[in-house]
Structure 1
Amino acid sequence: MLIPTEILDKYMITHQDQSPVIATFELSRLADREGALAFLNAYAPELKAHSLDVAATYFTAQFARMFAAFHYAIWRCGVHLDLSMNILRVRIARHPDGYVTLKFDLKAIQGTTVPLANRSLLVKSLMTSFYSEQVRPILQSLASAAGISVGALWGIIPTYFEYYYEQWLEDPIDEVQRIHLAEDMDVLRHQLPPAVFGRVRNPFLVKFRYMDSPYEAGKKIKLKSACCLAYKTEESSYCLTCPRLSEAERSRRVAEYQARQS
């Protein structure tokens, strides 16, 4: 079937990309510890990371784009976009602005229609297969290769997924799409058993903490759901929204920022 290009464009998924990159890995290789280790050893130096666990968390943050694309295709376009690891490559690339990014490239663009009949059962089945068979093996392998708990990687995801979800709520959508989105998020957060993710608790079921925004008076911003380990890079600093940051240190950094703005 014809896959809407808006899905690929929106989540920066390429198709048989031939542009120059630093390194390319078949995504299926990352499900094997040896392949995961090779990827981390290639990615970590480009991030100026002091250890491989940083490369694992940074990969996971960008991998969340694939989760967003998967869900967006189903609820917004009525399409199951095939994002199987055997047809995806991950490419370490340098952005024109100088920073290092990851490109996810499809060897083939394929998918199937998600019919309205028995939609909820099919969506649950598709989610179960995607997270248990495509996502879980990769995160487990990366965690093992990086010497980090797989829970730390699952913990990275809600921050980024919530960002995409909030974007969807702001999109101009009709009532049917709004209902389907609510149903799909209920399946993801409340109906998928933790075993699908290999966890004792569903990793998408997160209660976010908030702080006063230093950038816009009267607004709140979310703290990250887990530490991304940015402090283990050349920057050697915790993010302002890092859950590991003490409230005293967070307040001090906010005060410094506001002083620079005045």
Structure 2
Amino acid sequence: MPKPNQIPEIMKNDFFITDEDQEHAIYSKPLTELFIKENMDVLVALYSPHFKALHPTATAAGLARWFASIPLAFQYALSVMNQSIDLSPQNITVQIYSFNGVYWFSFKLNQYTTRLYRDEIPREDWLYQQLVTFYSDTMRPLLETMAESVQMNIGQLWGQFPRKFDIFVEKWKQAIAFGWSEQIDRDYQFLAENMEPEVFGRKRNPFHIKQRLIRSLDDETIQIPVECTCCLNYLREGGQLCFTCPRLKEQDRETMRKKRKEELEVNE
């Protein structure tokens, strides 16, 4: 177990949450500064060439996937650690550094502060209070500024989150005891079904989605989910629509399956 006020390794390894400056950082900015359009413009301009984006909306989608680490860390703390972390915008500094030619993001906390849930109030009431504050104060203004910067529908940015949450939630459940697994499911369901759309500045809760399944590319007996929204990788150099992209027609997926099958047969 980590010592009090010491960031757990999983926060560093899975969510890029740290309390240390990145050596040789090429970018460093308090998160609150990214609520200003001109500062977000600078970040998009900096990241676009490295991301090989052909359009700034692709860059924004890529940035949203990096910033998804922040709400994932918050959800992990609530469900697995049964505590809240101070991920207020005033406590976070966004840093970018280069490692092996790849740009990595790091979210430095000025202070690692947690509050353990106490049963003075029902857990759902506590959960609601924590989620409302976090999404209203941290994630909503960040994504709104990002969408304004590149002139895109903000729903495309919120849509980068749910599938990442699905993947991590399953990972957490497999790594811990059964009792906690149930709490992880309940908390994720609470986020999706009990939080009003207004918390996110949307007409619909972006986590409340109906999953659509399709046959896998590699094994047609396996069903996999379609993404909530396009990742916009087709707007990058050499990019194309992903197999699970909601923009892709089923006939195109079938063509991709046949091509993959032929490739596997050749390599046998």
The TM-score bracket by the shorter chain reads: over 0.9
Partner residue of 2:136 out of 118, 132, 140: 132
Query: Counterpart amino acid of 1:148?
Result: M
Residue type of the partner of 2:134? F
What is the count of residue pairs matched by the alignment?
A: 260
Cα gap change, 1:259 to 1:21, in 2 (>3 Å): farther
What is the DSSP-based 3-state SS (H/G/I as helix, E as strand, rest coil) of the residue aligned with 2:211? coil
With normalisation by structure 2, the TM-score equals 0.90
1 CA distance for matches of 2:108 and 2:263? Answer: 41
RMSD of aligned residue pairs (Cα, Å):
1.8
Deviation at 1:217, TM superposition (A): 5.0
1:105 to 102, 105, 108: 108
TM-superposed deviation, 1:158? 1.0
- Residues 22/65 of structure 1: CA separation in 2 closer, same or farther (3 Å cut): same
Match of 1:33 among 12, 34, 37: 37
Task: Give the drift of 1:104.
Answer: 2.0
Q: 193-202 or 66-75: which moved more?
A: 66-75
Q: Distance in 2 between matches of 1:83 and 1:188?
A: 17
Question: 1:245 is matched with which residue?
Answer: 248
Paired residues for 1:4-153 under 5 Å = 5-9=8-12, 10-96=14-100, 98-118=101-121, 119-153=123-157
Structure 1 outlier segments of 4+, above 6 Å: none
> Is the 1:158–1:225 contact (alpha carbons within 8 Å) kept by the matching residues of 2?
yes
Whole-Å Cα distance in 1 between the matches of residues 132 and 228 of structure 2?
23
2:84 is paired with a residue whose SS is: strand
1:231 corresponds in structure 2 to 234
* Correspondent of 1:258 among 255, 258, 261: 261
The answer (yes or no) to whether the contact 1:7–1:73 under 8 Å persists in 2 is: no
String of CA shifts for 1:81-118, please: whole Å, max 9, x gaps. Answer: 1111222122233342x433322222221121121332
User: TM-score scaled to structure 1, two decimals?
Assistant: 0.92
Is this contact kept in 1: 2:26–2:97, CA < 8 A? yes
Distance 1:253 1:62 in 2: 28
Q: Which residue of 2 aligns with 1:210?
A: 213
Asked if structure 2 preserves the Cα contact closer than 8 Å seen for 1:73 and 1:80, the reply is yes
> Residue 181 of structure 1 corresponds to which residue in structure 2?
184
Whole-angstrom CA distance in 1 between matches of 2:8 and 2:36: 31
Cα pair distance change 1:251/1:100, threshold 3 Å: farther
Contact 1:67–1:161 under 8 Å retained in 2: no
Partner residue, 1:201: 204
Q: Secondary structure at the match of 1:90?
A: strand
Deviation of 1:169 (Å): 2.5
CA distance in 2, matches of 1:171, 1:6: 15
Q: Deviations over 1:16-57 (max 9, x none)?
A: 233223322222121111111111111111101012111111
Q: Which secondary structure does the structure 2 equivalent of 1:92 belong to?
A: strand
Worse overlay, 17-26 or 231-240: 17-26
Confirm or deny: 8 A CA contact 2:92 2:109 kept in the other structure.
yes
Provide the rounded CA distance (Å) in 1 between the counterparts of 2:263 and 2:94. 39
Alpha-carbon distance between aligned partners in 1 of 2:55 and 2:83, rounded to the nearest angstrom: 39
Q: Distance in 1 between matches of 2:218 and 2:98?
A: 29
Report the Cα distance in structure 2 between the residues aligned to 1:144 and 1:166, rounded to whole angstroms: 33
